[in-house]
Structures are given as C-alpha cells and as structure tokens.
C-alpha cells in the first residue's frame, strides 16, 4: 500500500520542530485508510512501534494512536512489544500520560474482542503493578478487573488494596478499588472482609477516547462479518446486570460467581481448576476431557453459554451432577410458570430459550422438561411463550409414554382453537418431533436418564404421533380448504411416514 508506506517513511523522518499542518494531513490520510480498507498487519505493527517511541507533543501522539487499529485482532508480537515498552517507561513519571493512553488502547481492544487474550492475560502482573501508581490506577483498573481469575485472589492482595484505598484522596479511585474488592469477594469470599460494599461497575470505569472506541468497534464488526472471530465463554448473564439493586430475587440463569466448596474447604489437596479459569471453549473442553474441574455452586449457570456450548459442558459432568440439575430445573420451572414467581416475562422467556437450545444441542428431550409440559399446558393461555414452547416441543423424552400422549392430546385441542399461522407452527413442531424421535430411537446413549429408554416406548409413541399429525392436517384442510400451505405439510408428513420404525 503506497500511501501507508509514505506515511511510515514520514513518521520515521519526524524531527523536533516538524510541520504541524503536514503532520495532521498525514494523520487524516492514515485515518482514511483505517476507516475504509484497513491496514495490513505488518504495516500496523510497524506503525505501532514507531508510535510508541515518538517524542512529539502528547496531543499529537494521542491523535496518531487513535488511528492505529489492526485489520483483525492485535497479535501476540504487538502485545509483547507494548509490555516491553511499559516496563521500560513505568519508572519515568513524565511518560505516565502516554502509559495511561496505551492502557486505554489495550482496554478498548479487549472490550471489542480485537486482541489475543492469552497474550494480554500474560501481562496481568504488570497491570497490577501499574495499579499502585495513582495517575495510572484509573487506566489499569478495567484490565485487571476483566483479567482477574480466582487463582489471582490472595489475602495479601486484598490487604494491599484496602490499605491503598485508605490512602487515596480521590473518591473515584477509591470507588474503583471497591469494585475490584467486590470482584475478589465473589471469587474468594473468605479472603475479603464482609463489610466491603457491592459497587456498580458501570459507574466506576473510566470513559475511553471516543474516536479510538469507534474505530475498534468498526474493526470488531468487520471481523464478525468475515466470521474470523473465536468464541469466548461468557460467565455473566446479561439479564442479571439489568436488574435493579433493590431486587433480591436470584436470576433464573445465575452468574457463575461461586464454586461448590463443601467438605473440600478442609482438604489439604491441591485445589481443582474451575470454569472461571477458561475463556475459550476449545481449551476448556480439552482440559475437561483429561482432568476434573471444580463444580460450580449452581449448575444451571452453565446454561448461559450460547451456541449450544452448555450441552457439551453438561455432557462431561458426572451423572449425579446432571441428576442434581434435573432436580433443580424441576423446582425452578414449577415455581416460575405454575406456582408464580416475581421474575419478569423476559427472564422466563430467556430461560425457556436456553432450555430449548440445550435440548436441541444434546439431540434429545429432557425428562424433567417433558414432565413440565404436562403440568404447564393445561393452565397455559396459548399465547405467552408460544415460540419457546414450540421449540421445546420438538424434542420430547419418551421416558414416560403416558406424558407424551397427554401432551399430544392437549396440543390437539390447542390446534383446533388456534389461528392459521399458529396451526402451521404447531404442525411444524410436531413433524420435527416425529423426525427427532426417530433419530433418538437409534441413539445408543442418552443423558439425564437413569436407565436407557425401552424401545417399546418408541413403538407406543411414534405410531400415535404420526396418526395425530395426519389427523390434524386433514381437519385443517376440511375447515379451510384454501390453506394450500398445509398441503405442503401433508406431503412432508406422508414422505416422513414412509420411513417406518419397526
């Protein structure tokens, strides 16, 4: 890229007393390239090193830094160079304003998922050291908050933060230290005093340079569009962050904040690693296949993983853990949808979506969810949670054939009262249920079931289900012959029924 090469040569030639107007024109050219075509990574890395070592006024230095955005993500070599620069300059107070902006730059890259997180995590101790400099505390805080893992929390660090907080005259810095102590308390409550208050993280962190944030956000969108990003595990339920402070009700899908301690707190054996130590699914599954992990205090926190990742995590849990989750889900679903609960409609809807995704990812129905449908459907108003119920219906457990037949009978009545679009949705779910049951009948192993399902259960349910679907199609065509779309369903079902299960 000829224009970028010229800009690099110009920056290399900068000397004291340079032309400010020419410098600004080069900055504008660089910004245009970044905003339109993006930089080649080698050019970006070269510019990044030149930028850090420039001795120009701070305002010009920040303007140049705000234009430096990678084409995809910041690679390990660039992160390591920034660490070497920080180590070389952290004792020189005249560079603190530059160090602060570099920390902000790394923070934005982290927030926009545009940086190698493994490489960034290797600088945790360096960031923690910079926290002790008053002018850098606000810049390093969010990096430390995000990168902290339970193993990083020690009583010594807690005492250091408390002592440092008492010596801070600025209330904003003290508030940020309290936020970090609150995080430490959620990871290892035995190391933090009980009187440490819970603080809102949204009001504690410093606002980042808007231009820099906008460019990194655009980089993230471009990266997502090209599908080059890697999935990162999320251990916080976004809905729980929206709850008001005065609400004491536990979220339906809680954050994974605490571990199941039990008698292990008295054990002298080495502590097991836990889910919070991992940010990538591949690394977590690879470790879990080889070694044990500490069980989270609330197993249903695993449901917050998107893309069906919860299915893979739960499949690796021992049977007694899955039995405990089934017991937990049974009481949770009953209290939320039958007995009544203070949770919002959105939270309940989100729970049903996650359960439907779990079943679809495991390619099987959960007996506890099938039982819930038999209890809930007689009292259902046939409007609330309709899409979610249809998704759950596609995967049914035949562990108890009587429950499945009861659900079919209830949906036959619901179908006759529904409008045409709802009838199509019900037929679609029932036809998918048939295909999925055919598949399940050929599976050799099922999760969340104490014993393997008897083949006789499938022979009882499948013919009845096929007959019900065909009967519903015929009734719909008799009532409204003009609904040609239903004919498509009839043809589909007739084709599906050619594959009979013996």
Tell the CATH topology of 363-502. Answer: 5 helical Cullin repeat like (1.20.1310)
**Taking Cα atoms as reference points, which of 423, 438, 440 lies closest to residue 359?**
440
Tokens of 360: 């679809």
Residue 284 Cα to chain centre, angstroms: 14
| DSSP at 498 | T
- pLDDT, position 496: 53
201, 231, 242, 287, 346 from 309: Cα distances, Å: 27, 10, 24, 15, 22
**Taking Cα atoms as reference points, which of 328, 265, 258 lies closest to residue 295?**
258
The H or E element spanning position 78 is helix 76-89
* Residues of the chain scoring pLDDT < 50: 1-2, 227-231, 241-242, 244-246, 258-270, 487, 490-491, 494-495, 498, 500-502
Report domain extents, the chain. Answer: 69-225, 231-240+252-257+272-362, 363-502
Find where tokens 């790394």 sit. 106
324 burial type by CB count under 10 A (0-12 exposed, 13-18 middle, 19+ buried): middle
Find where tokens 């970090």 sit. 180
- Longest CA–CA span in the chain (Å) reads 88
Q: At what angle do helices 96-111 and 58-65 cross, to 10 degrees?
A: 20
Rounded (5°) CA angle 467-468-473:
100
- pLDDT, position 498: 45
Beta bridge partners, 115, equal 74
Q: How far apart are CA 354 and CA 359, in angstroms?
A: 9
Q: What is the DSSP string of 243-266?
A: S-TT--PPPSS-----B--GGGGG
Residue 418 half-sphere exposure, CB side, CA atoms within 13 Å?
21
- pLDDT, position 488: 56
Beta bridge partners, 307, equal none
39, 61, 161 from 176: Cα distances, Å: 35, 27, 10
pLDDT, tens digit (0-9, with 9 covering 90-100), for 403-426: 999 999 999 899 888 887 888 888
Q: Model-level pTM?
A: 0.52
pLDDT, tens digit (0-9, with 9 covering 90-100), for 107-124: 999 988 889 988 999 999
Rounded (5°) CA angle 327-438-306:
50
434 within 8 A of 465, measured Cβ to Cβ: yes
Tokens of 153: 């929390």
């Amino acid at each position: 890229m000829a224009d970028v090469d010229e800009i690099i040569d110009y920056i290399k030639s900068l000397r004291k007393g340079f032309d400010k107007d020419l410098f600004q024109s080069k900055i504008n050219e660089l910004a245009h390239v970044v905003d339109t075509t993006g930089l080649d990574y080698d050019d970006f890395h070269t510019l990044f090193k030149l930028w850090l070592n420039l001795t120009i006024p701070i305002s010009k230095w920040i303007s140049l830094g705000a234009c430096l955005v990678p084409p995809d993500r910041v690679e390990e070599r660039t992160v390591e160079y920034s660490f070497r620069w920080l180590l070389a300059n952290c004792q020189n107070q005249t560079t603190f304003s530059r160090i602060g902006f570099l920390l902000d730059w790394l923070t934005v890259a982290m927030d926009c998922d545009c940086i190698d997180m493994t490489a960034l995590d290797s600088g945790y101790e360096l960031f923690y050291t910079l926290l002790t400099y008053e002018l850098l505390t606000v810049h390093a805080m969010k990096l430390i908050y995000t990168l902290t893992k339970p193993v990083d929390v020690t009583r010594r660090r807690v005492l250091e933060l408390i002592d440092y907080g008492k010596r801070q005259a600025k209330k904003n810095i003290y508030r940020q230290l309290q936020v970090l102590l609150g995080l430490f308390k959620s990871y290892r409550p035995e190391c933090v005093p009980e009187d440490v208050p819970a603080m809102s993280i949204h009001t504690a962190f410093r606002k980042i340079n808007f231009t820099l944030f906008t460019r990194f956000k655009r980089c993230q969108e471009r990266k997502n569009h090209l599908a080059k990003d890697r999935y990162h595990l999320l251990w916080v339920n976004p809905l729980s962050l929206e709850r008001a402070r005065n609400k004491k009700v536990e979220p339906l899908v809680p954050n994974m904040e605490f571990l199941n301690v039990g008698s292990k707190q008295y054990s002298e054996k080495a502590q097991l690693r836990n889910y919070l130590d991992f940010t990538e699914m591949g690394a977590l599954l690879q470790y879990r296949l080889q070694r044990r992990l500490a069980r989270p205090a609330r197993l249903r926190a695993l449901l917050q993983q998107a893309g069906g990742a919860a299915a893979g995590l739960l499949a690796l849990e021992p049977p007694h853990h899955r039995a405990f989750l089934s017991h937990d889900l049974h009481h949770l679903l009953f209290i939320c949808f039958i007995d009544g609960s203070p949770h919002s409609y959105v939270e309940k809807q989100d729970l049903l979506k996650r359960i439907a995704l779990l079943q679809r990812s495991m390619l099987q129905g959960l007996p506890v969810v099938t039982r819930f449908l038999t209890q809930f459907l007689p009292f259902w108003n046939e409007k609330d949670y309709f899409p979610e119920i249809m998704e759950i219906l596609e995967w049914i457990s035949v562990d108890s054939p009587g429950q499945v037949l009861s659900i079919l009978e209830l949906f036959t009545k619901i179908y006759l009262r529904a409008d045409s679009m709802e009838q199509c949705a019900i037929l679609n779910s029932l036809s998918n249920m048939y295909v999925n049951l055919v598949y399940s009948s050929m599976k050799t192993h099922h999760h969340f079931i104490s014993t393997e399902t008897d083949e006789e259960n499938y022979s009882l349910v499948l013919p009845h289900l096929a007959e019900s679907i065909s009967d519903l199609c015929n009734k719909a065509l008799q009532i409204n012959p003009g609904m040609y779309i239903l004919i498509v369903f009839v043809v589909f079902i007739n084709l599906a029924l050619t594959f009979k299960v013996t």
